[in-house]
């Protein structure tokens, strides 16, 4: 079965420090991987994706993610965290069985950045 | 381009009623997906439509249904509402199955 795991319910970081939000996946075939962010009472905002190519993917708001095939991981990173980065982050993989395009999401990780 | 819009934003219903939620995708996007978000179950896939055809369906009872119109707008319907249907319902559109999905702000449904 295809799945995504986000092992941390919450990540706490001091402003200015680097942050990492972890994600591991299990899919058959080549994975299409995504990161989304959700602010309170809002929909999901797309941050970045990995389809193919370079393992280091750069996205919006200074975020980047590293695809590691051997470890089946796609961790989200940012060199210097901002208080405004505090939000709920979701890792997702596209369900690549057949022609459908729906996403399978992890449970989400709450990021808290303190001043 | 305008983003994905969903109406209404908030809805309060009582058990046994039915509800219809609407989603207008980004112009040019033909794929529309619906998700249910709850604190306990997280984000769960409901269904996906492409060119008026349901291409995939998640593991939800038949009370949940949807459709897509020729202009790519989509509606989802929930009949015989239960307390457990209280959730944020999110609609997302994409230009193709290989591209990222763009989400609307959601409809917050409360069932009393």
Interatomic CA distance for residues A39 and A30, integer angstroms: 30
- Residue-level pLDDT at A42: 82
Question: Could you tell me if A107 lies within 8 Å of chain B, comparing CB atoms?
Answer: yes
Q: Which residues of chain A make contact with B4, given a CB cutoff of 8 A?
A: 43
- Residue-level pLDDT at A99: 62
pLDDT category of residue B96 using cuts at 50, 70 and 90: confident
Q: Which residues of chain A have pLDDT under 50?
A: none
Question: Is the Cβ pair A43, B33 closer than 8 Å?
Answer: no
Nearest to B55 among A44, A94, A99 (CB): A99
Give the Cβ contact number of residue B52 at 10 Å: 13
Q: Which residues of chain B make contact with A103, given a CB cutoff of 8 A?
A: 33, 35, 43, 45, 92, 101
Q: Which residues of chain A make contact with B92, given a CB cutoff of 8 A?
A: 44, 103
Nearest to B97 among A41, A101, A104 (CB): A101
Q: Which residues of chain B make contact with A94, given a CB cutoff of 8 A?
A: 97-98
Q: Pull the structure tokens for residue B34.
A: 């619906």
Question: Is the Cβ pair A94, B97 closer than 8 Å?
Answer: yes
- Residue-level pLDDT at A69: 92
Render pLDDT for B21-65 as a digit per residue (tens, 0 to 9): 999 999 999 999 999 999 989 999 999 999 999 988 999 999 999
Question: Is the Cβ pair A100, B96 closer than 8 Å?
Answer: no
Q: Which residues of chain A make contact with B48, given a CB cutoff of 8 A?
A: 100-102
The gap between the terminal CA atoms of chain A, to the nearest Å, is: 41
Tell me the average pLDDT of chain B.
94
Q: Pull the structure tokens for residue A110.
A: 């709450």
* φ and ψ at residue B42, rounded to 5 degrees: 75, -145
Disruptive mutation site among B24, B87, B97, B110 for chain A (greatest number of A CBs within 10 Å): B97
- Residue-level pLDDT at B32: 94
Interatomic CA distance for residues B43 and B25, integer angstroms: 19
Question: Is the Cβ pair A103, B33 closer than 8 Å?
Answer: yes
Residues 6+ apart with CB under 8 A from B38: B44, B86, B87, B88
Question: Could you tell me if A75 lies within 8 Å of chain B, comparing CB atoms?
Answer: no
């Amino acid at each position: 079965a295809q799945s995504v795991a986000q092992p941390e319910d919450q990540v706490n970081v001091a402003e200015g420090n680097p942050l990492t939000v972890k994600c591991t996946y299990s899919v058959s075939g080549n994975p299409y991987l995504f990161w989304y962010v959700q602010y309170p009472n809002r929909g999901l905002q797309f941050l970045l994706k990995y389809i193919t190519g370079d393992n280091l993917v750069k996205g919006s708001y200074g975020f980047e993610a590293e695809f590691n095939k051997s470890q089946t991981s796609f961790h989200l990173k940012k060199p210097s965290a901002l208080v405004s980065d505090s939000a709920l982050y979701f890792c997702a993989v596209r369900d690549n069985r057949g022609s459908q395009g729906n996403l399978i999401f992890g449970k989400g990780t709450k990021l808290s950045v303190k001043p | 381009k305008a983003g994905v819009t969903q109406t209404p934003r908030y809805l309060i219903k009582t058990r046994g009623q039915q509800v219809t939620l609407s989603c207008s995708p980004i112009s040019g996007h033909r794929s529309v997906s619906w998700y249910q978000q709850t604190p306990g179950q997280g984000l769960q896939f409901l269904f996906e439509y492409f060119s008026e055809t349901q291409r995939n369906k998640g593991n939800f009872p038949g009370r949940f249904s949807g459709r897509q119109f020729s202009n790519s707008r989509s509606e989802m319907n929930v009949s015989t509402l239960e307390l457990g249907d209280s959730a944020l319902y999110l609609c997302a559109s994409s230009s193709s199955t290989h591209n990222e999905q763009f989400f609307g702000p959601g409809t917050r449904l409360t069932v009393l």
